Amino acid sequence: MATTLLSAASRAGLDALFRRAAAANIGPTPQRAPDVVAVASPHPPAADCVGVLAFTITSFRFRLVVMLGVNAGVLEWDDPDAEAGRRAAIDALAERGNMACGEMARDLARGGRHVGLSTPTWLRASASPLLEASAPQHLSAFELRLDNGAHLDAWVALRAYAPIEFDTLVAASADSAGELELF
């Protein structure tokens, strides 16, 4: 009899955790949070995707990868008239994604797990199929719809190395006052 490494409840909890973290952190301001919509099945990046931001949360028992597909409209979402340039827009999005993944890491650590968070990595759009090649036990796709009509494709993949339950994920995350956290 095969051992299930990740239960259906844990999968649902992980998706709920991503939705909360993305809605709270990815928009330009908290008042401009994106709509986070589940997509029926993982898909390749949109044709207008200029690259992918990858974030990794790791533990001795699992590796969680979050990827955000960035399109040209997203690069203009803060201020279409700004001359800060493409790199500054990508850096700003990487920081927001890092805040979202930091919130996820904090929630994943609640069960006494030791977790680490990587530095955001900019990849070519063609890198997103690598998630499926890593044979994750869980792979979900989302679309983050921004208030200016732009969107981000998002993928959440978890590879478990041992049976694990995320029993604390279904409860709502506690509000944070923005205190400094050390992982």
Share of the chain above pLDDT 90, in %: 25
pLDDT for the residue numbered 86: 74
What whole-number distance in Å separates Cα of residue 36 and Cα of residue 20?
9
pLDDT for the residue numbered 173: 46
State the pTM of this model. Answer: 0.82
What are the structural domains of the chain? 8-160 (3.40.1550.10)
pLDDT for the residue numbered 125: 82
Task: Give the mean pLDDT of 36-61.
Answer: 84
pLDDT(15) > 50? yes
Q: How confident is the model at residue 1 (pLDDT cuts 50, 70, 90)?
A: very low
Task: Give the mean pLDDT of 37-63.
Answer: 84
pLDDT(174) > 70? no
pLDDT(58) > 80? yes
pLDDT for the residue numbered 130: 75
* pLDDT averaged over every residue in the chain: 79
